[in-house]
Amino acid sequence: MNASKFTVTRPSRKKLFLISLILVIVTAAVTLFIDGYFENRQRGTESIYHSGAWGELEELDVHIEQPEEYVGFEKVSAEGPLWTFGTLTESAIHDLLLSAGVTDEQIRKILAFRLPGTGSIVILKPDEETLLSFSPEVRSKLYLALAQNPANRFAVAPYFISNDDLDLEFQGHSKISSKTRSFIKRLLYQRNGFTYFSDPETVLKHVDSEEERFDLLKALTVQNVVQMRLMIHPDSDIDKPIHYWGLPTPGILIKDIKPFFEGMKRLPSGGSISILYLLPPLARERLFTTPLPPTIGSSKMPDCHWSALNFFAMTPDQRMSDNDFASQYIAQNYYEIGKPGLVGDLVLLLNAQNRVVHSSVYLADDIVFTKNGINFAQPWVTMRIKDMVGNFSALEPVKIAYFRRKDM
């Protein structure tokens, strides 16, 4: 039997060189893509660009946390959770838990762990096995029931997990172990379309070190904010953004910003301007900062209403911290509109009774200037409306209403 004959054709040196060159280019491109991907993931998200009457905005979502100096004020005990029911009878507590979807067997175990020495006030300490056995749906209903008593602080004010993505919020926190992250995910629950977490005390019992404890508490304060820059290209129509940002804003004069815009436009590749330079003095001075803690005898801390209604003020009016005065001021000086479209429009969150639970100021696109709470550890930020709504939807859904100044 004759052996088959075959010929091996070797590629020429030129072909080998071309193949090697292609492999080098592909490898470099893949490396750059991967490096860019992880760089953007680490710093938040990739920039996005939205154009409108405000010009072309470069928007970068960034995760910021409370300063380390303020995280130390967070009083979280590893001895909890402790559920306070006030002076409710055991029968009333049973009915309340049952209505939330807790089973009779689970209720029996919960009622067996009553804290002694609390007089007529009923405080229960649920065992961990029972607490972990709740489904997210039951947990949501149960913690809403617990929120009826302000003593149950983490039911009343849970941690908001933006975009339902715990891993993204915890990026950069290497001290938080994978075991702790998995544990937290078991305790998340949804309400009104957003994700929340109310059990730091349960998780802290399993944290291995003080360093991890501090890192976890800091990570839980994260907020998804937006850094903005106005893009100017050689072919940009700069008149529209000049008038959008300059006309309604005291302290921002067209004579000052127009030469800056024109200078950027003359650059061969254009340029960009931080939105900070286009905000009125109060917002410009405070953006991405937190107030100092109050001192004994000091006046009321600035809250969302104070921040929103003083947005254009050269000298802040301290009366804006008074809810009744703020409501009267809005009624006298603003009118309701269908959607925001000018810098300074109010974006208000209302509860089911149409009471204002939060005030903010529209800037551009879907972004507002806001201070989420009277807490001194809460910074002034620029934030997407969706994330702001999530911060205030933990207990009940909120409605959005828009108002514009009568002189605009």
Distance CA 188, CA 198 (A): 8
Distance CA 304, CA 131 (A): 35
Residue 179 sits in the same domain as residue 83: yes
Residue 197 sits in the same domain as residue 330: no
pLDDT value at position 158? 96
If one counts the domains in the chain, the total is 2
Domain containing 372 equals: 282-291+300-405
pLDDT beyond 80 at 32: no
For residue 355, give the CATH number of its domain: 3.90.1720
Task: Tell me which residue of 234, 316, 239, 327 sits closest to 283, measured CA to CA.
Answer: 316
pLDDT beyond 60 at 275: yes
pLDDT beyond 60 at 192: yes
Tell me the average pLDDT across 177-202.
Answer: 96
pLDDT beyond 80 at 182: yes
Task: Tell me which residue of 274, 347, 285 sits closest to 314, measured CA to CA.
Answer: 285
Q: Which residues pair with 361 in a beta bridge?
A: 346, 369
* Residue scoring higher pLDDT (231 or 72): 231
Distance CA 393, CA 400 (A): 12
- For the stretch 193-219, pLDDT in tens is 999 999 999 999 999 899 999 999 999
In the chain, DSSP finds a helix count (H) and a strand count (E) of 17, 15
**121 in a structural domain:** yes
Q: Which two tokens stand for residue 314?
A: 């050269």
- pLDDT-derived band at 264 (thresholds 50, 70, 90) equals very high
Residue 286 sits in the same domain as residue 208: no
Is residue 241 helix, strand or coil?
Answer: helix
**75 in a structural domain:** yes
Question: Is the Cα torsion angle 245, 249, 253, 254 positive or negative in sign?
Answer: positive
pLDDT beyond 70 at 261: yes
**42 in a structural domain:** no
Distance between start and end Cα atoms, the chain: 99
Residue 119 sits in the same domain as residue 204: yes
Q: Residue 21, exposed/middle/buried by CB under 10 A (0-12, 13-18, 19+)?
A: exposed
Please work out, in degrees rounded to the nearest 5, the angle formed at the alpha carbon of residue 238 by the alpha carbons of 236 and 244: 130
Q: Residue 310, exposed/middle/buried by CB under 10 A (0-12, 13-18, 19+)?
A: buried
Residue 75 sits in the same domain as residue 217: yes
> ω before 81 within 30° of 0 (cis)?
yes
Residue 74 sits in the same domain as residue 203: yes
Residue 215 sits in the same domain as residue 306: no
pLDDT value at position 31? 44
For 63-118, the DSSP string reads EE---HHHHTT----TT---EE-TT--HHHHHHHHHHTT--HHHHHHHHT-BPSS-
Residue type, 401: A
**397 in a structural domain:** yes
pLDDT beyond 50 at 298: yes
Helix (H) / strand (E) element for 123: namely strand 123-124
- pLDDT-derived band at 67 (thresholds 50, 70, 90) equals confident
**Residue with the two structure tokens 């501090």:** 214
**Last residue of some domain: 221, 247, 274?**
221
What percentage of the chain has pLDDT greater than the value 90? 73
**307 in a structural domain:** yes
Residue 233 is given by DSSP the state -
**Last residue of some domain: 221, 255, 273?**
221
Tell me the average pLDDT across 72-97.
Answer: 85
- For the stretch 117-161, pLDDT in tens is 788 999 999 999 999 999 999 999 999 999 999 999 999 999 999
- pLDDT-derived band at 33 (thresholds 50, 70, 90) equals very low
pLDDT beyond 90 at 66: no
Residue 305 sits in the same domain as residue 198: no
**Last residue of some domain: 180, 205, 221?**
221
**364 in a structural domain:** yes
Q: Rg for the chain (alpha carbons), in Å?
A: 28
pLDDT value at position 16? 56
Q: Which residues pair with 58 in a beta bridge?
A: 49, 229
**256 in a structural domain:** no
Residue 78 sits in the same domain as residue 194: yes
Residue 286 sits in the same domain as residue 187: no
Residue 209 sits in the same domain as residue 314: no
Q: Which two tokens stand for residue 233?
A: 């290209």
pLDDT value at position 70? 79
pLDDT beyond 50 at 38: no
**257 in a structural domain:** no
Residue 100 sits in the same domain as residue 178: yes
